[in-house]
Structure 1
Amino acid sequence: MSFLRKFVKKIPAASRGFEIETELTIYALQMRLPVGEVPAKYFKRPETHIQNSIHLEMVLEYYLL
């Protein structure tokens, strides 16, 4: 997303997380600003190795006891 500076300064945003996108879109439409989508490339995350998560569980268990 990209926004005009005057828009950003006037945002009465109350949402957190992904909900903010919906709130910003609605507010932009109320201000009669153009709203559009910008294509983005998606890159799949590399798969993590199962030993990493087991090791993390062991470390957390040790420190949380």
Structure 2
Amino acid sequence: MNDLTPNITSYINESVTVCDTDLENSNEKIDLLNFKTKLLSAKTIFTVTLSLFVILMIL
């Protein structure tokens, strides 16, 4: 059984590394999604503000 210990340890270390990489990729995707959401919110606020300005200019 001791002969398998290095293989098991290696497998666990590789699995942890893969999980860490997947987690980093997920965090990067979440950060990008948060940035896109903030950008969309800013665009919406700008559009509404511009629309209100145009309406006020017409009145």
Superposed pair shares fold, TM > 0.5: no
Higher-RCO chain (CA-CA 8 Å, sequence separation at least 6): 1
User: Could you state the TM-score of these two structures normalised by the residue count of structure 2?
Assistant: 0.29
Which has more radius of gyration? 2
User: Could you state the TM-score of these two structures normalised by the residue count of structure 1?
Assistant: 0.26
> As a proportion of its length, which structure holds more helix?
2
